[in-house]
C-alpha cells in the first residue's frame, strides 16, 4: 500500500483510538485528580493500535483475523472521527454532538468494518480456490 495512504489511515486511527479509549472506559472510573493516568494509558494504547495498523498496511493482510481486525480498526476509527469531530465542526453549539462518534458511529464502524473484512477474506479465498 502506498505510504501516503498509510499515513492518512494512521492519522485517523491514532486520534480516534486515543479519544475512544480515553472517554469510554475511563469516564466510568474516578480519575478526577489523576486524569493524567488515563491520558497516558490511552496514548499508549493509541500508539500501539497505530503501530499495528502501520505494520499491517505495509503488506497485504493474509489471514482471516488480520483482515477482520484491520477492517474493524480502520473503519471504526474513520466512523469515530466523523461522528466525533463532525458535530464539533458543523454544530459547535450542540453540547452532545461528540456522543454520536463515541456511542454510534465509532462502534458501528468497528462492527461493519469487521464484517467487511470477513466478507473480503471470504471472497478472496473463494476467488483463489476457483483459480487454483
Question: What is the per-residue pLDDT across 70-98, written as a single tens digit (0 to 9) for each?
Answer: 889 889 988 988 898 888 888 888 888 88
Average pLDDT over residues 101-125: 92
The per-residue pLDDT for 113 is 94
* Segment among 12-16, 31-35, 65-69, 99-103 with least mean pLDDT: 31-35
Check whether 1 has a pLDDT greater than 70: no
- Asked if 81 and 101 count as a contact pair (C-beta separation under 8 A), the reply is yes
Name the DSSP class of 101.
I
- Span of 10-24, 57-71, 111-125 with lowest mean pLDDT: 57-71
Measure the CA–CA gap between 49 and 52, rounded to whole angstroms: 5
* Average pLDDT of the residues of the chain: 86
Distance of CA 72 to the CA centre of its chain: 7
- Report the phi/psi class of residue 29: left, alpha or beta, with left for phi > 0 and alpha for psi in -120 to 50: beta
Cell of 73: 480498526
63, 39 Cβ separation under 8 angstroms: no
pLDDT of residue 27: 74
3-state secondary structure of 104: helix
- The predicted-structure confidence for 4-33, as pLDDT tens digits, reads as follows 778 888 888 898 889 888 887 777 777 677
Number of domains composing the chain = 1
- Side-chain-side CA neighbours of residue 10 (13 Å): 19
What's the pLDDT score for residue 48? Answer: 95
Q: What range defines the domain where residue 8 resides?
A: 3-131
What is the distance between the alpha carbons of residues 109 and 105, in angstroms, rounded to a whole number? 6
Alpha helices in the chain (DSSP H): 3-23, 35-58, 64-90, 99-100, 106-131
* Whole-number pLDDT of residue 124: 86
Amino acid at each position: 500500500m502506498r505510504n501516503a495512504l498509510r499515513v492518512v489511515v494512521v492519522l485517523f486511527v491514532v486520534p480516534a483510538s486515543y479519544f475512544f479509549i480515553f472517554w469510554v472506559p475511563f469516564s466510568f472510573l474516578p480519575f478526577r485528580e489523576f486524569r493524567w493516568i488515563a491520558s497516558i494509558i490511552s496514548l499508549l494504547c493509541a500508539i500501539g493500535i497505530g503501530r499495528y495498523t502501520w505494520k499491517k498496511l505495509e503488506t497485504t493482510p493474509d489471514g482471516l483475523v488480520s483482515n477482520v481486525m484491520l477492517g474493524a480498526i480502520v473503519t471504526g476509527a474513520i466512523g469515530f472521527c466523523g461522528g466525533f469531530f463532525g458535530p464539533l465542526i458543523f454544530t459547535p453549539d450542540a453540547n452532545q454532538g461528540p456522543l454520536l462518534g463515541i456511542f454510534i458511529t465509532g462502534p458501528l464502524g468497528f462492527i461493519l468494518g469487521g464484517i467487511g473484512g470477513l466478507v473480503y477474506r471470504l471472497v478472496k479465498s473463494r476467488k483463489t480456490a476457483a483459480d487454483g
